[in-house]
Amino acid sequence: MAKTLEKHLENVDSELASLILKLSSVAKVISDELPYRRGKADTENVFGEVQLVADKWADQYITNELRESGMVKTLVSEEQPEIVKLNETGTFNITLDPLDGSSNIESNNSVGIIIGIYKKDLPAQGKDMVAAMFILYGSVISLVYAVPNNVSEFINTKRGFVLRAENIKIPEPGILYGVGGLKREWLPEFKKYIEELEKDGQKLRYGGSFVGDMNQILHYGGIFAYPELVTKPNGKLRLLVESNTMAYVIKQAGGASSTGKGSILEVKPESITQRVPTYIGNKELIEKLETALK
C-alpha cells in the first residue's frame, strides 16, 4: 500500500516534517472552504491587484494556523505589505502565495498554494531555502514537497495524502511551453526563441496559474515563462512568494531557472515585493533561452 505523507516524512527533519504536515491539513480546510469564499473583496493587495474573498481568507487562515503552530518566526505573503512577525522562537521563515491563480476560481481552473521554507531571515536568496512545497487544487488535491535532490508528490485520498511518486525528475526532452504576458509585449529575441520551440514541436499549455502551469512542466517537461516585457522589464511574478519557490522545486527535479541572465535562486532580493522575469524548465531549454536573450 502506498505510503502516507506522514510515513514519508519520517526521513525528514522532525520539525520540518511537522510543518509540512501542518500545511497539508491547512490545505484540506481551504479546499473545503473555497465553494463559500467566492467573489471580489473590496480591497487591493500591495501590487494593486483586486483581492478576492478567497485570497484574503486563505491568507488570514494560513497566517493564524502558522502563528498557533509556534514553528514560524516570520511570514512574507503576497497578500500582506510587510513581513509578518509570528513567533520570536519559531525555527522557520515562510514565503507564501496563499491562493495562487485565484482569478481562475471564477472559471474553476487550477489554483493552489505556494510555500517556501527557510531558516535564514527573509528576504533571503532562493538557494537558501531548506524546502519548498505547493498544493494544487485540480481534479484531485495534490501536494508536492521538495528537499535537496528529492521531489515527492502526494494525492489526497480517503487515507489522507498518499505518495504518488518520489525522486521525481523533470522528463527530458520536455514537450510543453507556457508563456504569460501579451505576445506583442514580448522581446523580439524571446519571440524568436518561442518560434524555434514551436518548430521543434513543443505544445502550448498555459492555464493562467503559476502553480498549475509549473506542475505541468514538472510532469511533462518543457519551459514556463512569465518573461521580461517591453512595458514590464521585470515581468509579473514575485521573486520571493512565487518564482523562487518553483525554481527551487524544479531545480531539485533536475531542471533549471533563469531571470534571463542567471539562476533565479541566485538573485539577491532588494525588497519583499520584487518582481523577476521568470523562466523555469528543462536545463537544455533554459541554456538555449539565455543564449537567445544575450
Q: In this chain, which of 138, 160, 208, 254 binds ligand P6P, going by CB under 6 A?
A: 208
| Residue placing its CB nearer to ligand P6P in the complex, 100 or 228 | 100
100, 126, 141, 177: which one contacts ligand P6P (CB under 6 A)?
100
Q: CA nearest 180: which of 242, 114, 255?
A: 242
DSSP secondary structure of 188-203 = HHHHHHHHHHHHTTPE
Please identify which residue in 137, 161, 193, 210 interacts with ligand P6P, judged by CB under 6 A. 210
> For the chain, what is the largest distance between any 2 Cα atoms, rounded to a whole number of angstroms?
54
Strands (E), 138-239: 141-147, 150-157, 160-165, 176-179, 203-204, 222-226
Give least dist CB 138 to ligand P6P, A.
Answer: 14
By CB under 6 A, residue 281 contacts ligand P6P = no
Residues 163-192 that bind ligand P6P (CB under 6 A): 180
How many residues bind ligand P6P (CB under 6 A)? The answer is: 11
Task: Decide if 110 contacts 207 (C-beta within 8 A).
Answer: yes
Does residue 216 bind ligand P6P (CB under 6 A)? no
116 is a site residue for ligand P6P (CB under 6 A): no
Q: Which stretches of the chain are DSSP H helices?
A: 5-8, 14-33, 53-69, 188-199, 210-220, 244-252, 283-293
Reported as type and span, the H/E element at residue 84 is strand 84-85
> Is-contact 12 147, C-beta < 8 A?
yes
Closest distance to ligand P6P from the beta carbon of 207 (Å): 8
Q: For residues 37 and 213, give the distance between their C-alpha atoms in angstroms, rounded to a whole number.
A: 23
Q: In the complex, what is the shortest distance from the CB of residue 125 to ligand P6P, in angstroms, rounded to a whole number?
A: 21
C-alpha distances in Å from residue 114, one per residue of 78, 104, 146, 211: 10, 15, 12, 7
Under rule CB under 6 A, residue 101 binds ligand P6P: yes
Q: Is 215 in the site for ligand P6P (CB under 6 A)?
A: no
Q: Which stretch binds ligand P6P (CB under 6 A): 36-44, 187-195, 202-210, 215-223?
A: 202-210
- Please choose, from the candidates 271, 263, 229, the residue with its C-alpha nearest in 3D space to the C-alpha of residue 247: 263
Q: Identify which of residues 86 and 194 has a Cβ nearer to ligand P6P in the complex.
A: 194
- Site for ligand P6P contains 103 (CB under 6 A): yes
209 is a contact residue toward ligand P6P (CB under 6 A): yes
The one segment of 131-139, 144-152, 190-198, 206-214 that binds ligand P6P by CB under 6 A: 206-214
Can you give the binding site for ligand P6P, defined by CB under 6 A? Answer: 100-101, 103, 180, 208-210, 213, 226, 236-237
